[in-house]
Structure 1
Amino acid sequence: MRIHILGSAAGGGFPQWNCNCRQCDGVRRGTLRAKPRTQSAIFVAPDGGADGVLFNASPDLLQQIKANPVLQPARGVRDTAIAAVMLVDGQVDHATGLLMLRERALPLPLWCTDPVAEDLTQGLPLLRVLGHFCGVERHVVEPDGRAFTIPGVAGLQFRAIALASKAAPYSPHRDAPVPGDNVGVLIEDTARGRSVFYAPGLGEITPPLFDLMCGADAVLVDGTFWTDDEMIRLGLSKKTARDIGHLPQSGPGGMLEWLDRLPARTRRLLIHVNNTNPILDEDSPERAELARRGVEVCEDGQTVEP
């Protein structure tokens, strides 16, 4: 199994188009040792197979396809390695790239939960818009941990687990969450017996979820904010990280405490990193702290093989 990191930043990317914080300004000027990043998405394919699953359709999808030739195997006049798309939530930065796939000759195979399908039919009606182009062949993802497979992607098995986070701002469940607003996905390579847990939006880690993470060979989890009050301190928001559904890395009960408790063999990676997070600065003490703890920061173009 190969996991291609197409985009590793949170919504807005890095640098964010309208942001002049120390980090966005520094990466533009070349005064900060940091790598630009597009909005988060991954592509997962089995060993020896060209076709795979696109997890989340970023607004930067066309740029990501161009930068990752694995997504365009060029076996015909029109071709794609995207056998299906799976959405972990209905957020703008994970769903609006669906419109970039509208030129398909056949309906787009889309895997998502019922609450996400509802959000993308009513609050942000992308699925209705796609009905005027290629159309959508929607498959229900049940967020209960049961195993399922996806046609055209041999050797991989998937399990979706409901997470505590936040639904999109246009969702009727924004302030009253329901199971399936957000999911994490365990991706299993059945031939090699290897697995990866993927959760770019994660507001709370429960004991059953942590048990699942302990069984994975690698975890790609929420790296949005370093501190709970990060956006407040910078004067960019009145809400904490937890208020908007993201578990910060530092502080009591933060992501790093949980990652420290994983088995030593588990590879730990942070994805969906906000432009304000100091871990993007490769010379920062926060980045050094991650290195000391054996935690990686995902980069665009990176390939992970658990």
Structure 2
Amino acid sequence: HGHMGHTAGLAQLGPEAMAVEGLRIFAASDLNNLLLAMPLWSPLMKRLQLTPLIPGRALDLAPDLQVTAVPVPHRDEWGVGTAAFVIQGPNRRLLYLPDIDNWDDWPRAAKILASVDVALVDASFYSANELDGRAPVAHPLVPDTIERFAHLPTQLALTHINHTNPILDEDSAEWTAVLASGVQIAHTGQQFIL
């Protein structure tokens, strides 16, 4: 989606950094169009191969590897929507869902999570009082997410963790509670075999 934290990394592909030409980039058509229309991003976007992801339609990335965009409710200031991604490998399925406003706003949540083997889900905040002024930055809280999906056979892994979230501290009670629940805290370099 169009939030800065999810698009700023594109700058690393520009001539000032990697100087990439023709790299295939996958995004919703509306997001591609927004980036092409913005003077800051347009020169870079024209150097890339923009491939639209159509919600609900599987896209073959390689033999035995597909990705399907799944719309989810999240703040949409730019009018381009937000998607989670179901990645289908030869043997397993993974859901990558780093941003959602509220599980109650997405009636399909439990069904989608139950349909995958692994789900990396939004864990921005652990508690409502973790960050002053957080109200406009809607995200489900970690304990609520764990409680809501504990009954599913899906392996949960928490991602998109805000720097204020105590689960980043391995000495915290919150970190211990998450791991005791059987949920993983995703980390850099972690791999999931699909």
Could you say whether these structures have the same fold, taking a TM-score greater than 0.5 normalized by the shorter chain as the test? yes
Which residue does the alignment assign to 1:245? 138
How far is the alpha carbon of 1:280 from its aligned partner? 0.8
Residues 48-94 of structure 1 show CA distances to partners (whole Å, capped at 9, x for unaligned) of xxxxxxxxxxxxxxxxxxxxxxxxxxxxxxxxxxxxxxxxx222222
Which residue does the alignment assign to 1:108? 23
CA distance in 2 between counterparts of 1:131 and 1:207 reads 35
* 1:199 aligns with one of 97, 107, 111: 97
Query: Which AA in structure 2 matches 1:109?
Result: R
Query: Which AA in structure 2 matches 1:261?
Result: H
How far is the alpha carbon of 1:123 from its aligned partner? 5.2
CA contact (8 A) 2:94 2:116 kept: yes
Query: Which AA in structure 2 matches 1:201?
Result: D
Pick closer, same or farther for the CA change 1:262–1:182 going to 2, 3 Å.
same
**What pairs with 1:33-48 in structure 2 (closer than 5 Å)?**
none
Instruction: Provide the secondary structure at the position in 1 that maps to 2:126.
Output: coil
Which residue does the alignment assign to 1:51? none
Q: Could you tell me the percent identity over the aligned residues? A: 26
CA distance in 1 between counterparts of 2:39 and 2:165 reads 28
Pick closer, same or farther for the CA change 1:123–1:130 going to 2, 3 Å.
closer
Which residue does the alignment assign to 1:272? 160
Which residue does the alignment assign to 2:152? 262
Which residue does the alignment assign to 1:130? 44
Instruction: Provide the secondary structure at the position in 2 that maps to 1:95.
Output: helix
1:94 partnered with 2:94: no
Give 5+ residue unaligned stretches, structure 2.
none
How far is the alpha carbon of 1:131 from its aligned partner? 4.9
CA contact (8 A) 1:217 1:267 kept: yes
Residues 87-127 of structure 1 show CA distances to partners (whole Å, capped at 9, x for unaligned) of xx2222222222222323x422111113322432345742x
The structure with higher relative contact order (CA 8 Å, sep 6+) is 1
CA distance in 1 between counterparts of 2:39 and 2:128 reads 28
Instruction: Provide the secondary structure at the position in 1 that maps to 2:161.
Output: coil
Instruction: Provide the secondary structure at the position in 2 that maps to 1:239.
Output: coil
CA distance in 2 between counterparts of 1:149 and 1:246 reads 30
Instruction: Provide the secondary structure at the position in 2 that maps to 1:213.
Output: helix
Which residue does the alignment assign to 2:184? 296
Q: CA RMSD in A?
A: 2.0
Pick closer, same or farther for the CA change 1:142–1:125 going to 2, 3 Å.
farther
Question: Structure 2 length as normaliser, TM-score?
Answer: 0.86
CA contact (8 A) 1:201 1:245 kept: no
CA distance in 2 between counterparts of 1:147 and 1:94 reads 22
CA distance in 1 between counterparts of 2:165 and 2:22 reads 38
CA distance in 1 between counterparts of 2:181 and 2:187 reads 18
**What pairs with 1:56-205 in structure 2 (closer than 5 Å)?**
89-102=1-14, 103-104=19-20, 106-122=21-37, 125-126=40-41, 128-131=42-45, 135-143=47-55, 145-150=56-61, 153-167=62-76, 171=78, 173=79, 181-189=81-89, 191-192=90-91, 194-205=92-103
CA distance in 2 between counterparts of 1:94 and 1:286 reads 26
CA contact (8 A) 2:179 2:185 kept: no
Query: Which AA in structure 1 matches 2:141?
Result: P
Instruction: Provide the secondary structure at the position in 2 that maps to 1:93.
Output: helix
Query: Which AA in structure 1 matches 2:152?
Result: L
Q: How many residues align?
A: 188
CA contact (8 A) 1:218 1:268 kept: yes
Pick closer, same or farther for the CA change 1:208–1:154 going to 2, 3 Å.
same
CA distance in 2 between counterparts of 1:123 and 1:228 reads 34
CA contact (8 A) 2:85 2:96 kept: yes
Pick closer, same or farther for the CA change 1:218–1:124 going to 2, 3 Å.
farther
Pick closer, same or farther for the CA change 1:99–1:289 going to 2, 3 Å.
same
Question: Structure 1 length as normaliser, TM-score?
Answer: 0.57
Which residue does the alignment assign to 2:118? 218
